[in-house]
Amino acid sequence: MAIAAAALLVLLIGIGLLLFRSRKGQRSGGHLPSGPRPLPLLGNLLQLDLQDMSRALLTLSKRYGPVYTIHLGPRPSVVLCGYRAVKEALQDQAEEFSGRGDMPFLVRINQGNGLFMSHGEQWKVLRRFTVHTLRDLGVGKRSLEQRIQEEAQCLVQELARTQAAPFSPTILSRAVFNVICFIVFGQRFDYEDRNFLTLVGLITQNFHLLSSQWGQMYSIFPGLMYYLPGPHNRFFQNFKQLRLFLLEQVKMHQESFNPNCPRDVIDCFLLRMEQEKHDPQSYFHMEGLVITAHSLFLGGTETTSTTLWSGFLILTRHPEIQARVHAEIDRVIGRHRSPCAEDRVHMPYTDAVIHEMQRFTDIVSLGMTHRVIRDTYFRGFLLPKGTNVIPLLLSVHNDPTQFNDPDTFDPAHFLDERGGFRKQAAFMAFSTGKRMCPGEGLARMELFLFFTTVLQHFTLTPLTRPEEIDTSHQRGECGYKPRPSKFCAVSR
């Protein structure tokens, strides 16, 4: 807290210098919903808890309703709370809410390239490329499923080496990272490979920096924080290293590139670069390739591995749930055959547990910020073109009109009265609408195969009594992470 107070003091001293610049970018007009009264320049910063931004926004909704305006610094953002408000915006008015909102960290490194921060035609072209490439490389197909199965067996071997001693969540991270490495680079790495560990460390640290208090201050006051020292600058230093690593991978691919047989994302991007090399307006160029690869790692690794670690931790607190998953695995798969994607439809309880893991842990609790692409009428308000919109996914997954007792981990949230799996419209772990995560299919496959393969071979046991296990999360702006914890994988 001392660090945060010091940072705030520096902001109060220097922010006046940016008053003109900040106001210059503000839009006028429109009729935004009401919200807490902002202070000049600081907005509602003093009314928010940077350690738990999503909960703070949820609390404000109890006073101001499901749609209200919050000022993060001088910029207004419209907050959507609850399933109905988020659905009406991101699904029912999907096109109007399809813009990407302010995310200064990614704007600075992407420079308008890549899928995350692009808009309009560029975003549509890059999204189609990403979805089609993932499909062509095997997402939803047997080829990629076999690759994940092989990686899951490597993970089992690593856990077996622990000999039932407490292990670190980094083991799970390495398995998930290797799947993305296979998709992007066409290869996997040994878990102790030095370059691989550097890649994992840099991406993991950057994901956590986005959620830190320093990261949130940069997101709110990017113009000022750009000039200030602090841990937030490590994000950009890490990206420089990542960029060099990715460029080296691209160079190796160029040396062995065969346009008739693209092997991975890099090859597919190089092929489009070759096809459009005479088009000065092409979105396929070297910097775009680097950003695309970086985005796949940033968006497709930490969220999946953190969900697995959080879910496994929850099972150590609820051994009765773990026992039911074990029983279903034994009945449907057995102890000797590798789990496959087709098993999911025959395992409703396990499927419900995985969905409940995602709902309960809510790794990306705020959702990615959206922006309306034109003047938009919504629930009686007029949101001017360019208005930032925050879909509070935490409020969707904790909506009592959609989930009974949402604060309790209960697989029954996704089971019908006969014990079959029940889809929930309010399940938005991958967001919803036009900006929905393009890697949803891959993430679902990974979660199921890694989860069932580990539990096929091991019983997860805590280091203390189950009722003493803290399954709450450290919260930040962009995502959650489990509190420091360890447990053991005991061979079955």
Start-end of H helices in 186-301: 194-211, 213-220, 222-225, 233-255, 265-275, 286-300
- pLDDT on residue 138: 77
- Confidence at residue 471, expressed as pLDDT on a 0 to 100 scale: 75
Please name which of 285, 265, 281, 262 lies closest in space to residue 273, comparing C-alpha atoms: 285
- In this structure, what token pair is assigned to residue 144? 């990629």
C-alpha 285/C-alpha 279 separation (Å) is 10
Task: Evaluate if residue 479 carries a pLDDT over 60.
Answer: no
Residues 6+ apart with CB under 8 A from 483: 470, 472, 473, 474
pLDDT in tens, 60-79: 999 999 999 999 999 999 99
DSSP run (H or E) holding 68: strand 67-72
Indicate the pLDDT class of residue 26, thresholds 50, 70 and 90: very low
- 3-state SS assignment for residue 5: helix
| Residue 298 vs residue 452, higher pLDDT | 452
* Average pLDDT estimate for 465-490: 71
Show the DSSP H helices in 283-333 as ranges: 286-300, 302-317, 319-332
Compute the distance between CA of residue 107 and CA of residue 119 in angstroms, rounded to an integer: 12
107 touches 115 (CB < 8 A): no
Q: Which residues of 98-127 are buried (b: 16+ CB within 10 A; e: fewer)?
A: bbbbbbbbbeebbeebbbbbbeeebbebbb
Predicted confidence at residue 23, as pLDDT, reads 43
The pLDDT mean for the chain works out to: 89
Nearest Cα residue to 151 out of 129, 134, 173, 124: 173
Residue 453, pLDDT above cutoff 90: yes
Q: Within a 13 Å sphere around the CA of 21, how many CA atoms are in the beta-carbon half?
A: 9
Domains of the chain: 120-491 (1.10.630.10)
Angle between helix 440-457 and 348-361 (nearest 10):
120
User: What sign does the CA torsion over 39, 49, 296, 409 have?
Assistant: negative
Amino acid occupying residue 195: N
DSSP-assigned letters across all residues of 389-451: EEEEHHHHHT-TTTSSSTTS--GGGGB-TTS-B---TT--TT--GGGS-TTHHHHHHHHHHHH
* Contact status, residue 66 vs residue 74, Cβ threshold 8 Å: no
Q: Residue 45 has which token pair?
A: 């910063």
Q: How far apart are CA 383 and CA 298, in angstroms?
A: 31
Nearest to 427 by CA among 447, 392, 402: 402
- The mean-pLDDT minimum among 174-188, 203-217, 462-476 falls in 462-476
Q: How many CA atoms lie within 13 A of 405 on its CB side?
A: 6
Residue 14 above 60 pLDDT?
A: no
Give pLDDT, residue 10.
Answer: 47
Q: Which residue has the tokens 């197909």?
A: 141
316: its two tokens = 């150590």
pLDDT at position 25 is 38
Six-digit token pair at 118? 């692009």
Query: Is 230 strand, coil or helix?
Result: coil
pLDDT of 16 > 80? The answer is: no
One DSSP character per residue, 343-397 reads: GGGG-HHHHHHHHHHHHHH-SSSS---EE-SS-EEETTEEE-TT-EEEEEHHHHH
Copy the structure tokens of residue 377: 């009428």
Q: Which of 190-204, 311-325, 359-373 has the lowest mean pLDDT?
A: 359-373
pLDDT greater at residue 418 or residue 364: 418
Residue 28 pLDDT grade (very low, low, confident, very high; cuts 50, 70, 90)? very low
Q: What Å distances lie between residue 445 and 142, 261, 327, CA to CA?
A: 11, 25, 21
Give the chain's length: 492
Instruction: Go through 271-286 and write b for each residue having 16 or more CB atoms within 10 A of its CB, e for each that does not.
Output: bbbeeeeeeeeebbee
The residue with greater pLDDT, 75 or 10, is: 75
Provide the pLDDT for residue 436.
92
The pLDDT of residue 116: 80
How confident is the model over 117-172, as pLDDT tens digits?
Answer: 888 899 899 999 999 998 888 776 678 899 999 999 999 999 999 999 998 888 99
- pLDDT (tens digit, 9 = 90+) per residue, 222-258? 989 999 999 999 999 999 999 999 999 999 999 999 9
Q: Is the pLDDT of residue 285 over 60?
A: yes
First vs last C-alpha separation in the chain: 45
Q: If pLDDT is split at 50, 70 and 90, which confidence band does 6 have?
A: very low
- In this prediction, residues 462-487 reach a mean pLDDT of 70
**Residues linked to residue 69 through DSSP beta bridges, in sequence order:** 78
Q: What is the pLDDT of residue 387?
A: 96
Q: What is the pLDDT of residue 143?
A: 82
Given a cut of 60, whether residue 22 has pLDDT beyond it is no
Average pLDDT over residues 175-201: 95
Rounded percentage of the chain residues whose pLDDT exceeds 70: 91
pLDDT at 213: 83
User: What's residue 477's pLDDT?
Assistant: 46
Q: How far apart are CA 447 and CA 31, in angstroms?
A: 43
What is the pLDDT at residue 399? 96
